[in-house]
Structure 1
C-alpha cells in the first residue's frame, strides 16, 4: 500500500489549464531549492484515474529518492490537451516530464527535435517490441509506458444482456439487432455516446481497424503511401456505422453533452447497454462505479464477418516523455524516474491506484488476479490470436480533426460520406509535413 502525502492545489498558468498537485511543504517557487535538491514538474491529462496514478507513482518515487520532488500538473484531454502539449514544446515551456500518446500522435511532436532519446538506457530491452516501435523513429526511442496495452471495444452491461437474453455479437448486423432489442425494451439507452468529451466520438472508426486489416492486410502500408482513403471500403464502414446508429435513434438523449465519465457510469448502472470505448475505462469504472467491476464486460467492435471478428489493440497511450528543455541535474533525475516506471514495483502501484486496462508491456510486470470483467474479457481474443494493432501504431498519419468530424457525423449534422471525405482532406497536411511520399 502506498502511503499518500498531503497535497495542495495550485493554479497552473494564467489560462487555468486545470490544477496541479504538489507535495506539501515543497517550494512553489523556483525549479531547484537552495540546498541542491531537484524539483521536477510532471504534466498529465486531467482524467481522474490518470491524476490518481501519477500522484501515486510520484509519491512512491519521492519516498525512495531523497532530494528529488515531483509536482504533478494537469492539462485538458482531447484536442485542447494536444494543443497545450504542442504549444508548450514549441515555446520551450514544457514540464520536465510529460505524459502524451504513443504512435502517430507522438510522431506529430517532431520527436527527433523536441524529445530526449532514451534508446541507450539499460532498461529498453525489457519493453515489448510493439511498444518500442510505437515510440520510436529511425533516430531514437523516446517513451516509457505508464499503464498497460488496451483494446478498442464495446463495453456492455452484462445484467442488461442477461435480462434480455442477448448473446455477444460477432457481426455488425448482430450488434445492431441487440441494440434494437434494448431500444424496444425501453428505459435503457441502446448505445451510449458522449460528445461532451469530443475525443470519445472516434471509436466507431478507430476501434474498427481490426476489421479493416482483416479485409485488406496491406491497408496501413498503402494508406501511409497515399494509396488508400477513408471514403472507400473497408475503412468507410466506421463512418457509415456511426451515421446508421444515429439515424436509427439508438443513442442516449443527452449524447451531445454527456461526458466520458457519464458514459462509463451509464453502462455501469444499466442506464446504457453499450459504450464503444477504449478499455482504459476500467480505471474510470473502478474510480466512480467500483461495485460494477463484474457487471461491465467488453467485446470486439463487430464487423461484416464473424470469422475475422477481433480486437483492435493499442499500446499504452499514457506514455511518458522528457522534453529536450530538461537538462543537467533535472535530466538525470527525470531519467531516474523513467527507470523507476520500468520496474515491477511501479507496475504494482499502477494496478493498485487504478484498475488495469489490459496486459503490461514491460517484462516482469504482471496483472493482479482480480481485474475488472472488461479486462478479463479481452484475454480470449489474445489467446486465440484475434487481435490487430490500431492504425496509429502502423502509420504516422492521424489527422487532428477526426474527433470533431465524428461528432458532426454522430449528431446527424454531416453525412458519413462527407465526414470521410473531410477526414481524407484533414490528414493531407500532416502527411506532407512528415515528408511522406505519395501525398
Structure 2
C-alpha cells in the first residue's frame, strides 16, 4: 500500500510540475515589439493614432507598438536610418513612397486592402510592375483653413484669386482694429513657413499655362528670378501687418487656442476642426482651395499622399507588421482614423463623416495638384524653403536673396542626387 501511495504522490507531483511549467510558458510568451515612426505633428491626430494603436495592442497581446512621433526631426532621423540600413518596422512615407523610400519598403500587393485602394492614389502607391509601397491612412486635400464664422459675420466671401485674398486680409485687419490676425503662422517651426511657400509655388509656377515652368524645373534650367514673387509678397504681408507680429516665436499649440478665441482668420493647410471645437464649439471652420495667382490660372487643392505606413523590407516581423496594417484597413478602424484626423480615407470603401466634406463638395470641380517639392525639387529643399522664409522675416535676406539661396541649394542638391 505504501508503495502505491508513494507512486501516486510522485505522479501527482510530476503532473503539478508540468502544469506549472505550462503556466510559466504561457505567462512568459514572447512579445514582439514593432518600431513605428510617423510624421504626425498635430496633437489631435497623434491622439487618434495612439487610440488605434492601443486598440490593436488590446486585441493582439503578443505585439507591442513602439510609437515614435519626432515631428520636425522626422526626416533627419529617417535619413540616418536609411544610411545605416536600419529602418523602423513601420514608417510614414509622407509623400515619398516611391522616390525616397521605395527601395526600403516591402511589397504589399498581396494584402487584401489593396483591392480597395482609392483610384486617386493608385499611381502614387504602385509602380508599373505592380509593387504597392505603403498603406495610406488618409489622403491630403490642402489649401487654406479659415474662420467661417468670422467671414460670415463680416460679410466676406471666400477669395478666389491671390489679389482678392490680400484684399480680404486687409479688410479683416481694418474692420477688427487688429484684434484678429488675418493670416497666422507658427513661424518658430520653419516647416510651417516652408509649407506655405511649397503650396503657393504650384500656383505661381505650374498651374497657369502661360506661367508653367515644370519642364525647366525638371531639367534643372529653371530661372529662380521667377520665384521672387512669393518672398516679395510674403514680406509685404508682414510689413502690412497682415501676419501675426510674433510670427518667428509663435508655436503650433497656440494656433487652435487663438482660432477658438476668434483671433485668427486664415492659416495655411488643413487644420483639424476638432482641435478648435474642443475649445469653442461655436466657431465654424472652413477649408478652401488655394487662390489663383495668375489671371489664367485656376484655384487648386494640393494633395495626394498624406500619412501612411510602409513596412521595412528588412523587418524581422513581417507577419506582425502585416497584422497591424490589416487592423488599420478594417473599415471601422479606417473610418475611425480618417474621422479622428478629419481627412478623406485612403480606401474607396470607407466613407468617413468628416467636418470639411461640405467644403470639399463645394469645390469638387477644383483639381488636386501634387505637392510641389515632391515632383519638382531635389530632396533637402524643404529645409531651404523654411530657413529662407525665417531669414526673410528676420531681415537676414531680402526677396532677391531668398531666390538666390533657393537657386544655389537647388543646384547643389540636384547635382548630389
Taking structure 1 as the reference length, the TM-score comes to 0.77
> 1:47 offset after TM fit, Å?
3.5
Equivalent in the alignment of 1:97: 90
Q: Rate the CA distance shift 1:265–1:224 in 2: closer, same or farther, 3 A.
A: farther
**Corresponding position: 1:146 with 2:137:** yes
Equivalent in the alignment of 2:243: 251
Matched residues in 2 for 1:313 and 1:38: separation? 38
Matched residues in 1 for 2:248 and 2:82: separation? 32
**Corresponding position: 1:131 with 2:112:** no
Cα offsets for 1:72-119 (capped at 9, x unmatched): 2331x22x2211222233334443212341238x6334x31x332334
Count of paired positions? 383
Equivalent in the alignment of 2:352: 367
Matches within 5 A, 1:11-410: 34-45=28-39, 46-75=41-70, 77-78=71-72, 80-103=73-96, 107-109=99-101, 111-112=102-103, 114-135=104-125, 140-151=131-142, 153-185=143-175, 186=177, 187-208=179-200, 209-216=202-209, 219-232=213-226, 235-275=227-267, 277-282=268-273, 284-286=275-277, 288-289=278-279, 291=281, 295-305=284-294, 308-327=297-316, 330-352=317-339, 354-357=340-343, 359-368=344-353, 371-373=354-356, 375-381=357-363, 383-395=364-376, 397-398=378-379, 399=381, 400-410=383-393
RMSD of aligned alpha carbons: 2.9
Kept in 2: contact 1:118–1:143 (CA 8 A): yes
Taking structure 2 as the reference length, the TM-score comes to 0.81
Cα offsets for 1:209-231 (capped at 9, x unmatched): 14533214853354222233443
Q: Give the number of the structure whose alpha-carbon radius of gyration is greater.
A: 2
Q: Rate the CA distance shift 1:387–1:99 in 2: closer, same or farther, 3 A.
A: closer
> 1:172 offset after TM fit, Å?
1.6
Greater helix content: 2
Cα offsets for 1:280-333 (capped at 9, x unmatched): 5445445x53625x5222222323346743223212321212223412xx1221
Of residues 387, 398, 401 in structure 2, which corresponds to 1:415? 398
Query: What's the secondary structure of 1:239's corresponding residue?
Result: helix
Consecutive unaligned residues in structure 2, runs of 5 or more? 1-26
Matched residues in 1 for 2:31 and 2:397: separation? 55
Equivalent in the alignment of 2:411: 428
Q: Rate the CA distance shift 1:222–1:131 in 2: closer, same or farther, 3 A.
A: farther
Q: Rate the CA distance shift 1:380–1:392 in 2: closer, same or farther, 3 A.
A: farther
Matched residues in 2 for 1:427 and 1:136: separation? 28
Q: Rate the CA distance shift 1:98–1:168 in 2: closer, same or farther, 3 A.
A: same
